[in-house]
Structure formats: C-alpha cells, structure tokens
Amino acid sequence: MTTEELRTLTVAKSVDARGTACPGPLLEAKKAIGTLHSNDVMEILSADEGTKVDIPKWCGKQGHEYLGAVEENGYFKVYMKKK
C-alpha cells in the first residue's frame, strides 16, 4: 500500500507502544490482536525501528496481513490486518 493509502485506512485499534523497546511493541500487538475481529486493521505506534521488521515477520507466521509502515515525527505507524 502507498503511504497515502495507509494514512486513510479505517483503524479498529491503535496500540501506542512508543514508550517501549523491542520486544515491547510486538508484545503489545500480540495482546491487542485478541480484541479484534477478522479483517480489522490495527495500527501500532512505535519509536523502535525493529518494529518495522518484527511485525511483518509475526504477521507472516500468524497468517495476518502486514499492510505497511509510515514514518512520522520520529516514530513509526505500522499497519496490519487480522486474518
């Protein structure tokens, strides 16, 4: 997805993990995914660059869809869709 498409997604859940370091953002995402329905989009906010690697790998292993990441004001917004 393009940056513009990512910015216009309807997000069902936003997880603010900016105050945590690896593996904090991934652990926060794992906790939050259980509250979502199939095809819901989750946004993970993180200042940890590793999140851009960890979330896509986790999505691949779990069958979720990694949608992309946007860098904004010193942090990342990572988007995924629950299977």
- Residue extents of the structural domains in the chain: 4-82
What residues are annotated to the active site?
22
Q: Residue 60: which H helix or E strand, with range?
A: helix 51-62
pLDDT value for 28: 96
State pTM to two decimals: 0.94
pLDDT value for 64: 98
Q: Quick one: fold of 4-82? A: Translation Initiation Factor IF3 (3.30.110)
pLDDT value for 40: 98
The per-residue pLDDT for range 36-77, each reduced to its tens digit, is: 999 999 999 999 999 999 999 999 999 999 999 999 999 999
Distance of CA 2 to the CA centre of its chain: 15
pLDDT value for 49: 92
